[in-house]
């Protein structure tokens, strides 16, 4: 330690910060320019020491040797970028073939755990099972791509109106999924998941706000609400903040931070706290959760259940007597495969059909074709927005609608400090529209008809 700062840490860490930004408080001044310069110099230093000789083969395993120069340039562009990082164009070798609209599926890859609370008669145990289900989704949502692809990849940015639909079929019956990109500026994905056999429904929407300060930080805006028909219960689920580790080595992975809440209308709240491996201590992907009656967050004597472990591995749930009442093993828990229609049978607005040429080019490492195909989609969308503006109309969402408010959110948010709808950050409050959904069928729009005729 030196002067209260970590030796080797960039100088800009000691600058005054605006709490609502990753930039110094006097952004735009000479100090702002110095701030950017310091980041670029710091990254250059780390790239030099980490990507040339001093980096172990394990650390650099996910970064092709031929791409180290591009990776370094990309990191420098992140450092000097002023705006939402989600809008940046990333090098082809870190692009994913998956669109963000598909990420909604991670909520329900284990239908057995999703529907389990519906069969539990005891309200405390029901709330505990909701907590267990939520914790079980974290690995799928935030680490499964890292394990599958070797490192976290930048997903494709969905276009307005993009759809992703599928279903899971197992002993729990059929669990359905509809995901729709309801806004492009800002990007917002809404989703609905339901299982009629068990009377379980999940819906929500989210956007991401990304910034840079030593690494990429992502604040998720939005929420999810789980409803159990049998008990007429709702659970408000807030979303974790996260940051990207492993940027310098070219092996990015997600680490969750801060805390989230699951607030039940039955009177119980679960608080989940996230932590990771620090400079000198800590364990990667750690979670600690406590469940307590509403209004008793500060009272240790009122804790009903606790959960502790790693969201990417195992966690244990104990009761107030410290007795183990449930466990979870991420590697052992079976996942039910999601069934999606073949690409040739999909509507042109559906994710995998719309992005198939881009995905194929990414898999081949063909950066030129990737860029060209993405540009075709993006330009087509811009022309559509211009036409809609000229005609005084806007894109009609197929499954979701804007709501003036969300009473259940306002009721339950009182137990989740600092939470608000932030409708200005998500272009409104989005709810699943059952009337629209009942009437929706391919082709989903006039655009679908036109694209189908053109063989798109």
Domain contains 269? yes
Angle between helix axes 367-390 and 356-364 (nearest 10 degrees) is: 160
Q: Which domain holds residue 175?
A: 86-456
pLDDT at residue 93, rounded to an integer: 62
Q: For 258, left (φ over 0), alpha (ψ -120 to 50), or beta?
A: left
pLDDT at residue 149, rounded to an integer: 53
Model pTM score: 0.81
Specify the length of the chain in residues.
456
Domain end call among 80, 112, 133: 80
Domain contains 68? yes
> Tokens standing for 308?
């502790």
Contact 274, 259 (CB under 8 A): yes
Identify the H or E element spanning 363.
helix 356-364
Contact 335, 433 (CB under 8 A): no
pLDDT at residue 9, rounded to an integer: 29
pLDDT single digits (tens) 388-415: 999 999 999 999 999 999 999 999 999 9
Same domain as 247, residue 104: yes
pLDDT at residue 11, rounded to an integer: 26
Domain contains 95? yes
Whether the link from the prior residue into 443 is cis, omega within 30° of 0, is: yes
pLDDT at residue 68, rounded to an integer: 54
State the Cα–Cα distance between residues 253 and 190, nearest whole angstrom: 24
Same domain as 350, residue 312: yes
Other CB atoms within 10 A of residue 95 CB = 20
State the Cα–Cα distance between residues 303 and 419, nearest whole angstrom: 22
Domain end call among 30, 51, 80: 80
Same domain as 34, residue 172: no
Residues 6+ apart with CB under 8 A from 15: 24, 31, 35
pLDDT at residue 217, rounded to an integer: 87
Spans of the chain below 70 pLDDT: 1-93, 145-152, 247-250, 278-281, 446-456
pLDDT at residue 210, rounded to an integer: 83
Domain contains 246? yes
Same domain as 165, residue 50: no
State the Cα–Cα distance between residues 4 and 1, nearest whole angstrom: 6
In DSSP terms, which residues pair with 236 in a beta bridge? Answer: 225, 263
State the Cα–Cα distance between residues 68 and 84, nearest whole angstrom: 24
Same domain as 125, residue 61: no
pLDDT at residue 13, rounded to an integer: 29
pLDDT at residue 169, rounded to an integer: 98
In DSSP terms, which residues pair with 287 in a beta bridge? Answer: 274, 309
pLDDT single digits (tens) 269-321: 999 999 987 655 578 899 999 999 999 999 999 999 999 999 999 999 999 99
Q: How far is CA 198 from CA 194, 293, 335, 412, in A?
A: 9, 26, 18, 23
Of 212, 253, 243, 256, the closest CA to residue 74 belongs to 212
Same domain as 52, residue 25: yes
Domain contains 282? yes
pLDDT at residue 51, rounded to an integer: 39
> Tokens standing for 417?
């400090």
């Amino acid at each position: 330690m030196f002067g209260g700062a970590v030796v080797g840490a960039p100088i800009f860490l000691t600058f005054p910060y605006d709490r609502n930004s990753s930039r110094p408080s006097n952004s735009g001044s000479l100090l702002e320019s110095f701030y950017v310069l310091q980041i670029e110099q710091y990254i250059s230093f780390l790239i030099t020491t980490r990507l040339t000789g001093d980096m172990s083969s394990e650390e650099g395993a996910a970064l092709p040797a031929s791409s180290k120069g591009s990776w370094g340039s990309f990191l420098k562009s992140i450092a000097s970028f002023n705006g939402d990082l989600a809008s940046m164009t990333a090098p082809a070798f870190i692009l994913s073939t998956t669109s963000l609209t598909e990420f909604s599926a991670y909520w329900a890859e284990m239908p057995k755990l999703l529907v389990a609370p519906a069969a539990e008669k005891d309200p405390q145990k029901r709330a505990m099972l909701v907590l267990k289900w939520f914790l079980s989704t974290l690995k799928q949502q935030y680490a499964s791509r890292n394990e599958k692809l070797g490192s976290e990849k930048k997903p494709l940015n969905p276009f307005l109106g993009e759809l992703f639909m599928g279903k899971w079929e197992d002993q729990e019956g059929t669990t359905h999924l509809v995901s729709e990109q309801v806004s492009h500026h800002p990007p917002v994905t809404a989703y609905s998941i339901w299982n009629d056999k068990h009377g379980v429904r999940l819906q929500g929407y989210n956007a991401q706000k990304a910034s840079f300060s030593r690494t990429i930080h992502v604040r998720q805006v939005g929420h999810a609400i789980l409803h159990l028909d049998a008990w007429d219960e709702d659970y408000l689920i807030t979303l974790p903040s996260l940051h990207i580790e492993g940027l310098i080595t070219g092996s990015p992975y997600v680490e969750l931070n801060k805390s989230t809440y699951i607030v039940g209308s039955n009177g119980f709240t679960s608080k989940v706290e996230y932590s990771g491996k620090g400079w000198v201590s800590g364990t990667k992907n750690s979670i600690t959760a406590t469940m307590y009656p509403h209004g008793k967050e500060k009272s240790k004597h009122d804790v009903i259940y606790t959960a502790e472990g790693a969201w990417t591995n195992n966690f244990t749930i104990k009761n107030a007597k410290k007795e183990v009442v449930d466990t979870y093993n991420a590697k052992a828990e079976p996942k039910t495969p999601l069934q999606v229609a073949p690409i040739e049978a999909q509507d042109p607005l559906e994710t995998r059909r719309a992005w198939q040429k881009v995905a194929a080019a990414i898999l081949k490492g063909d950066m030129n074709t990737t860029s060209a195909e993405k540009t075709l989609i993006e330009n087509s969308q811009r022309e559509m927005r211009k036409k809609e503006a000229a005609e005084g109309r806007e894109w009609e969402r197929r499954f979701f609608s804007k709501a003036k408010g969300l009473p259940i959110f306002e009721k339950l948010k009182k137990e989740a400090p600092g939470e608000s709808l932030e409708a200005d950050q998500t272009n409104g409050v989005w709810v699943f529209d059952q009337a629209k959904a009942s009437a929706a069928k391919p082709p989903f729009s006039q655009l679908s008809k036109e694209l189908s005729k053109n063989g798109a």
